[in-house]
Amino acid sequence: MSRNRIQFGGPAKRQSRQSIPDHFEADIDNLSLEGRGIARINGKTCFITGALPGERVNAQITARHKRYDEAVVEEILVASGERRQPPCEYYGRCGGCQLQHLEPKLQLEYKQNQLLDQLKRFSDIEPQQVEAALTSEEFGYRRTARIGINQRADGELLIGFRRQASNKLLDIDQCPVLDSRINALLAALRNALTGLGDIKHLTHLDIACGDETGSLTIRTTRKLNQVQSEAIVQACSEQGFQFYIENNKGQIERVSSTAVQLSYQLPAQNINLSFAPGDFLQVNASINQKMVERALEWLSPTENDRVLDLFCGLGNFTLPLATKAARVVGVEGSAEMVARARDNAELNSLSNAEFYKGDLSSDIREGYWYRESRQDGFDLVLLDPPRAGAEACVRELAGYGARAVLYISCNPAALVRDAKLLKEAGYLMTRFSVMDMFPNTAHVESMALFEC
């Protein structure tokens, strides 16, 4: 026998948040850190690719989540006055850029406002002074790039970037954000490899430009045949590049017969920095120079100061600091980069710069460099961490007694977390600025000065 169901308290309440339809109309309120328009539909947040604040759009759902949904613009019903025609013919299909439909000045304004909002909301931090953003040309700025390569069944080459929201490769003739030398190399490489048989064992290209010459490193799963190798060497030589191969073990070997030193200059400090294929370089040379100059200005090292540079790389900040300070200690996780930094110190006749290898992602108190250096302390600290941030380092900085800490950030979430730790250690964020290292993309870099 079935029982009658007894309900107490009247009919069940409906949830206030309803599903967003697959196709819907939306008014855009704001722009997210990822460069997507933000709308509220039926009480639920939706991030809409291709939409700008102030616009009304028709959109289509692309992904559903518990707390938010994702969508893409199908039609713009009311356009923002800030919208422009994207200069790149591949925009909207290529996944490399996210903001070409927005005027460059406004791209930076939104990035800065979003980052300042994140600092206030999640760390309760408001910088005492927000400085002018560091900017560069919006195109032709990228001196390093990883580019995909593949081959269709009919032998046609594909060279380009991943499609938007996809792992598939989009074939491109040229990319406007790349250094013109890289575009010229890609065209020469396409011509050289066309008709030379199977190249599906080539997986990607890593390209880096120094001031005078550059490097092409091809990741391959098996050895190139002689004809293919000679064709690539010739193409590289004609464009001023050296050719390298990276095998399955991550080992990089030069193929070009003549070795030419890769390097770039920091003219204001009269510093020359050499690098090798696979080394980390700041993508935007113009912003890098301005960033180093601002770091020196904000930290203002004196001839008596001891400076600690964490995540120092090949000495990009360390050596300019060494021209001003009594002693600079650089710490880096890569043994190869430490060796390069030491060579660069010698190249620039800077004997007051020391470099140590250390794991900065875990308890730094275990490092030899920490035990050796902590006794005398440091007057100034600079951190330039990867996207994971510098949590392990920041937790120990209070013990150094540094009067100022300069934090270079490539990840807003990590900056917000680490800034809160510095605040708890007694530091105030006195100066802040964003840096447009990657114009036309949603990436935002920043620098923040903390003083106690």
Q: Which residues are annotated as a binding site?
A: 88, 94, 97, 175, 282, 311, 316, 332, 359, 384
What is the number of other CB atoms lying within 10 angstroms of the CB of residue 254?
16
**Residue 45 near residue 30 (C-beta atoms within 8 A):** no
Burial class (CB in 10 A: 0-12, 13-18, 19+), 339: middle
d(CA 116, CA 183): 36
Instruction: Exactly one of 46, 312, 410, 452 is catalytic; name it.
Output: 410
d(CA 404, CA 406): 7
H or E, element range at 394:
helix 391-394
Cα 93 to Cα 30, 167, 171, 255, distances in angstroms: 23, 12, 10, 34
49 CB-near residues (< 8 Å, 6+ apart): 36, 37, 62, 70, 71, 72, 73, 98, 164, 165
Told to judge if 410 belongs to the known catalytic residues of this protein, a careful annotator would answer yes
What is the number of other CB atoms lying within 10 angstroms of the CB of residue 233?
18
DSSP output for 366-379: GSHHHHHHTTT--S
d(CA 314, CA 334): 10
Structure tokens at 277: 């294929």
User: Which of the 8 DSSP states describes residue 22?
Assistant: S
Cα 52 to Cα 107, 192, 379, 440, distances in angstroms: 11, 42, 45, 14
Cα 61 to Cα 49, 72, 93, 100, distances in angstroms: 10, 7, 17, 22
Structure tokens at 369: 């460099």
**Residue 171 near residue 159 (C-beta atoms within 8 A):** yes
SS3 call for 429 = strand
d(CA 358, CA 340): 15
d(CA 144, CA 402): 34
What letter represents residue 291's amino acid?
Answer: M
Feature table: binding site for [4Fe-4S] cluster:
88, 94, 97, 175
Angle between helices 226-239 and 180-193 (to 10 degrees): 150
Feature table: binding site for S-adenosyl-L-methionine:
282, 311, 316, 332, 359, 384
Q: Which residues are catalytic?
A: 410
